[in-house]
Amino acid sequence: MQIIVTFPTSKREELVDITERIREIVHEHGNGKELCALYARGATAAIMIQENWDPNIQIDVLKCLRDLAPRGKWLHDRVDGNADAHIKAGIVGPSEVIPIRDGELLLSTWQNIFFCEFDGPRSKREIVVTVV
């Protein structure tokens, strides 16, 4: 079973919590299934599993990535000014696979699923959700 989830983003860089939307999909389609694969479509986006209890984690993650790949100093910036977004997306990666049991994601108490926007805002971002 495969669904494409679309949504807008509102900032150049942000972590968008998509956990509840993915839970709904898995709850509806995941009974008898064992894995949920998530894939961010776009070369400047990623998927991350991270804590959502403390909002400082999101701030810290973005700051760390900004420190690792600062804006405006890369060769690709001469083309369209978003080389840092490509590098950040490559560091985090476009996908995650989460086990399923009895139609529920096996995330721990503190784990949430984030879509990582590194080149927004965008009117349309897509995640491919595959439940197998």
Tokens at residue 20, please? 């509840």
**Which pLDDT score, from 0 to 100, does residue 31 have?**
87
- What tens digit of pLDDT does each residue of 45-103 get? 999 999 989 999 999 999 999 999 999 999 999 999 999 999 999 999 999 999 999 99
pLDDT at 119 over 90: yes
Q: Residue 10 sits in which domain range?
A: 2-131
Kindly report the pTM of this predicted structure.
0.95
Instruction: Give the span between the Cα atoms of 90 and 15, in whole angstroms.
Output: 15
Residue 86's Cα: distance from chain center in Å?
14
Q: What angle do CA 123, 126, 127 make, to 5 degrees?
A: 150
Above 90 in pLDDT, residue 37? yes
Q: CATH no. for residue 89?
A: 2.60.120.460
Would you tell me how many other CB atoms lie within 10 Å of the CB of residue 34?
Answer: 11
Question: Residue 95 has what pLDDT?
Answer: 98
Q: How many domains does the chain have?
A: 1
Q: CA angle, corner 66, sides to 64 and 71, nearest 5?
A: 170
Predicted local confidence at residue 123, as pLDDT: 98
Which residue stretches of the chain are H helix?
A: 19-29, 55-68, 77-80, 83-92
